[in-house]
Structure 1
């Protein structure tokens, strides 16, 4: 006799027992592998005499290989993983056909642009991006407060939607800026400027979101 699968209440926050690893440590690890390693590899290959197009192709394969390894290790393909794989694979295929280094530089803008559109698209969902993402990183007691505030306060729901829209807009701006840099600046300058742009954009939107979030939570208490 088999046991009935346990139902999980969608309102219950992810606890330390179910949450895989430390979110901050995971974020740092992801940043190193997705940004630091490819950037260092590109400039290392360029210093070794490799051409711009090939150096970009090889360094850009690192995040793709890591994503494939993660999917293989977990033995499942999430919607986010499938979306990312599709965008990266299509961008790489187009670049291989054209041999255009600038098109390869612009490939990342497709991902950030679509990510921004997705964030804005969650405004039509039951709960927007900012709520569903942040609540999983909060301590259990705080997460329960968020769920309660979502059900009880229209101002809280409006704030979550506003911040989700702001994050989506920030990624769309990032995407447009990356395309502009890819086609107007020297190729060897673009990879490091793209990282500076991304870090600066994330720092700004995180700071704004935290400040707005504190004021909003203060009004609810």
Structure 2
């Protein structure tokens, strides 16, 4: 339910102030119309088993508060859960073999969960955290971003695009290195200058098929 993008979140946040003892002004009518729209969106997003719990709600804020209490619990429970989520966020880091897409999906899921508990985590906090927690192969691109981009206006989506492009270049570079190694090996073998069982990969590059069955290319 994208209430903020449709400029409807204020109806839930502040509630509908509607004095029915006075003739409605144009602003009051607009507020009623907005509130009815939000309440309708909330109702449409629920299945029948949950919908029955908010049927008595006259305003969107009433319905939202019922759902918030139902799913998030009271303030003490929310505070404890939020503390746990914030600790998870601080400890978050990219795994060595993890792709950018997978890591940023984990970050996004955790941030969205924090926001569902009313955490006001901002964009610069998330972007800075990601840049600090990448694996070493992203060190230089992280430095470039920090030094050339205004992190206060550099969005998470922009960061995602930059990191995905950088990862793609790294992968293509690795593939070219391995392809070049295969070519050199093939040329040397064709000239009889190297035995396939004693080939050593240049620059510590390893074959993807090396090591199967315990075989390490040193002969038996």
- TM-score tier after normalising by the smaller chain length: under 0.3
The structure with the larger Rg is 2
Structure of higher RCO (CA pairs closer than 8 Å, 6+ residues apart):
1
Q: TM-score, normalised by structure 2?
A: 0.28
**TM-score normalized by structure 1?**
0.28
Greater helix content: 1
